[in-house]
Structure 1
């Protein structure tokens, strides 16, 4: 397993809020459910606001429940189409209802200092590739941490290696995100990440 990271001699990334991308399915391995709950607890106990997709189901709901139960804040951002089918979490610090999926991603980006990817499905992949692409385009340089819980994201890392090896992306692509093995490794990895130097360009996202 390759662990992608950037060397840091700079001040640490400020961590007031972390955006979590993760699955909305509840039909997943118990280890993934426990990891989502544990990470929500870690954020809550450390006074770090959780920013997420606003759902009450699957890993999203478990992470939010644990963050709030630990005394933390949880900010959900959900498109109206999902809110209308009653999958929105109702026990949050803030719930923002937006019109489009792009507005959702944009607001989650604006509210977050870093991004953490837990196991998830195609929606999680979409969010992950987009936030990495934005960083590749130098629209931001906020840290991105992929949690390879139980080897779940090993195929994703292999795919990135394949893309680079095939010439469709440069070697620097491997430095756009970091891979850790468990949720307990996330905050130490973020503490070692350099503070963003680029001014975000929200008008270009």
Structure 2
């Protein structure tokens, strides 16, 4: 008898959990039940930020380099899945390190909940960041909010070409969608000392 890899076991647990959620409830009740179910299965709730739309964000001690996100498939409620699917289907992290690595997306057409398995990144603590990280943040924000000239005041010595390319790609991709950019300090994270765009859209 062969052992099932930890990654597969963890995914199976989450897929089983998705099938038990009463998605007719209000989002806050679904979130409460999802978090309780995750914690009872050995996951740790990582959904601690204010205003997070994901139903649940969790980590597991057996796979410390990944984050598991249960998200809405209703993209009018939360367009995160649109962005994550674009990054995943095109493997954008292989071409540009400012996109997150997404290992897998699991959902079915008849389910209102999807599972996104993403690399575990570090929260951006603004007060702790060096000036060049802050400049990178304002650089990408300047491209996404090009009509706001206050974001154009960037030290060009620190202009990061791959980051500029990522912002240009995102702007072009989203030009045909009815979404708004929602880039703020909670929607970017760090991979070591590199800025990663994790959740830049809102409905």
**What TM-score results when the alignment is normalised by the length of structure 1?**
0.27
Q: Which has the higher strand share?
A: 2
Please identify the structure whose Cα radius of gyration is greater.
2
Which structure carries more relative contact order (alpha carbon 8 Å, separation 6+)? Answer: 1
